[in-house]
Amino acid sequence: YGTDSEWRELFLEARRRGLHVTAHSGEVGSAAHVRTAVESWNVERIGHGVRAAEDESVMALLTERGVPLEICPTCNVLLGNVPALSDHPIELFRQRGIPVTLNTDDPSLFGISLSEEIFRAAQTFRWDREVVTGVIKNAWDHRFVGESESG
């Protein structure tokens, strides 16, 4: 899959060319992968990132830099990355001030829609309308398309 330095060069070159970058990191492996993606590769978002919950300093880094986590709860449960939805660290991340968004990863593979992901998370973590709205707003605030393209 390449070395950290090879990935760093690719991500930095993408940034130099004006592209936005996300790293699929911390779904498996360790929180150190998330740290590398943020500190070395200078990514703007992290896809998954659940392993960040294993390291307080990585969570602090995400909070400090405002790097959002693209959370895919159903995928994480079905692939065994978390034992159950109720064990998912999304609420921990949210409480720490890390921007989180809800995502499906692969709706056809996992049999879930975004609406269902939102409903399940809200039900499991007892989120009220304000919290749900905030999570949805995070997705809007951290989108890669500009105002002129999004209307």
Annotated catalytic, 149? no
**Would you say 69 and 102 are in contact if contact means Cβ atoms under 8 Å apart?**
no
| Per-residue pLDDT at 59 | 99
- Candidates 25, 78, 86, 85; CA nearest to 50 is 25
Q: Which residues of the chain have pLDDT under 50?
A: none
What's 52-86 look like in SS3? HHHCHHHHHHHHHHCCCEEECHHHHHHCCCCCCHH
| Per-residue pLDDT at 21 | 95
Is the four-CA dihedral 106, 109, 110, 112 of positive or negative sign?
A: positive
Global pTM value: 0.91
* Whether domain 4-143 has CATH 3.40.50.2000: no
**Would you say 80 and 58 are in contact if contact means Cβ atoms under 8 Å apart?**
no
Annotated domain spans of the chain: 4-143
Residue 102's SS3 state is strand
**Distances in whole angstroms, Cα of residue 66 to Cα of each of 60, 63, 70:** 10, 5, 13
Both ends of the chain: CA-CA distance in Å?
A: 38
| Per-residue pLDDT at 107 | 84
Q: Give the active site residue among 6, 9, 13, 27.
A: 27
| Per-residue pLDDT at 69 | 98
| Per-residue pLDDT at 4 | 85
